[in-house]
Amino acid sequence: MNPKEVMADFQFLGNRVVKLVIETKRIEEKGRAELLHDFDYKIAETSQQDSSFLGTLQLSVQVKAKIKNKILFKIDLVMEGAFAGNSEKITEEKFIEMLEMNGLANLMNISRAYLVGVSAQSGINPPVRIPMINLLKLREKKQSHPD
């Protein structure tokens, strides 16, 4: 099969960590930690160059672990991804929709794997595993309450 025949009109170009802050504390409280998560995203930039739309998406993941009311650790991650779309085959509106859905799903998986590794290397045991989230609901929430 010819790869060009099945190649999507939306492509992932790469990613980088924009921000990573990890704070850990030694606390005396015993018990199971309660994990609190917060997720947000923003389209940092879009442009058109030749026959491509280019877009940069930033996903923010915040994790906090508490035992009783004492904070055990906090993690603040901003992962950025660069994406391209074929402007001869999709509209700018469709590209932005794909950036929010496909791009967000891609960055969520990259962030999930990254946080498992970096939290384990930071001495957090068990390592942080962020839950699956409903990206449609996150997008709806973002559209109804823009920053």
What's the mean pLDDT when you consider all of the chain? Answer: 93
CB 33 within 8 A of CB 57: no
| C-alpha pair distances (Å), 42 with each of 80, 81, 92 | 10, 11, 17
The predicted model gives 20-27 an average pLDDT of 91
CA separation for the pair 4, 2 (Å, rounded): 5
Token pair belonging to 114: 């990254």
Out of 3.40.605.10, 2.40.30.10, 3.10.420.10, 3.40.50.720, select the CATH number for domain 3-144: 3.10.420.10
pLDDT of residue 29: 76
Predicted structure pTM score: 0.90
pLDDT of residue 3: 80
| 21: pLDDT strictly greater than 80 | yes
**121 three-state secondary structure:** helix
More confident residue, 121 or 1: 121
Q: What is the 3-state secondary structure (H, E, C) of 74-112?
A: EEEEEEEEEEEEECCCCCHHHHHHHHHHHHHHHHHHHHH
pLDDT of residue 147: 64
* DSSP secondary structure letter of residue 144: H
